[in-house]
Structure 1
Amino acid sequence: MPGYKGHLAGGLFFACMGLVGAVLLGWWVFNPISASALICFCLLGALFPDVDTDSKGQNLYYVVFALLDLGLILKKYYMWSAWLGFFAMLPAIGSHRGWTHTWWAMLLVPVPIVALPVLIHGIDRFADFIPFYLAFATGYFSHLLLDGEFC
């Protein structure tokens, strides 16, 4: 089982292959800023399954969660801040290699990436966020694959 560096390398490999594949198939037009953002989402997905244990991935996630929560509070989005706090605590429920290392979590955990923009901006923005959902899920898949969850 790789550590966080191995999962980052796996996530980066899957991100690059996904971007190259999407461009070659004509599904996506290359844009360096979007590509960078998609790679970041893929790397976050590659680290997420280990957020349930003391790890570098957990440290990164809680810094990201804290900054997002602070931003929501400063913008006076208290309800969204409360929901983020609730979801940030969920990985602590269960043991390591528990629910965060399942195929259904790989599909369910990134749902807020598409659901929140729809709730905030309406259904018109749904398609804009599908690539970010897919990038996160791809990174998550790379983690599970490297951990041997599909063997």
Structure 2
Amino acid sequence: MPGYKGHIAGGALFGVMGVVGGVMLGYLALDPLHLAGLLGFCLLGAMFPDTDTDSKGQNLYYGLLIVIDAGLIFMKMYVWASWLGLCAMLPALGHHRGWTHTWWAMLLVPLPIVLIPAVLIGDRSIEPFFRFYLAFVLGYFSHLLLDGELY
């Protein structure tokens, strides 16, 4: 059971493999900003399951969310900031190694990445957002695998 550094390394490894595989198979364009965003979402997914306990990983995760939320508020994107705040509170609804360490949470937790833009923007084309969903799921999968929750 690795600590936050192990989960960051695992998420980075899975993220790089996913990005390289996606580029090589032609699913992803060689756009550094887009690829960095996908890798970032993978790392967020790798850290998310441990946000339900007082840890270094939790501090890093919520520190990043504060910066993102402040940026959204600064840009007057209040609806997005409120959704981020609501989703950030969800891990507090359980105990450590509770619902955040399940396969179904791996699939359900990142659904707002796809659903919220579809509802707020009104565009039913989820394809651009689905890549970020998959990146988060891949990082989440790496966490559960490293914690031995999948076997």
User: 1:87-126 counterparts in 2 under 5 A?
Assistant: 87-126=87-126
User: 1:2-151 counterparts in 2 under 5 A?
Assistant: 2-75=2-75, 78=78, 80-151=80-151
CA 1:145–1:120 in structure 2 vs 1: closer, same or farther (change >3 Å)?
same
Instruction: Flag structure 1 segments of 5+ consecutive residues without an equivalent.
Output: none
TM-score, normalising length from structure 1? Answer: 0.88
Partner Cα distance (1:74, 1:29) in 2: 31
Quote the offset at 1:19 in angstroms. 1.4
Q: Any runs of at least 4 consecutive aligned residues in structure 1 with deviations exceeding 6 A, and if so which?
A: none
TM-score, normalising length from structure 2? Answer: 0.88
Give the AA of the match of 1:37.
G
- Percent of pairs with identical residues: 62
Instruction: Indicate if the aligned counterparts of 1:117 and 1:125 stay in contact, CA closer than 8 A.
Output: no
Partner Cα distance (1:32, 1:72) in 2: 23
Instruction: Flag structure 2 segments of 5+ consecutive residues without an equivalent.
Output: none
- Coordinate RMSD, CA, aligned: 1.9
Q: Which moved more, 1:62-71 or 1:15-24?
A: 62-71
User: Secondary structure, in 3 states, of the residue corresponding to 1:138?
Assistant: helix
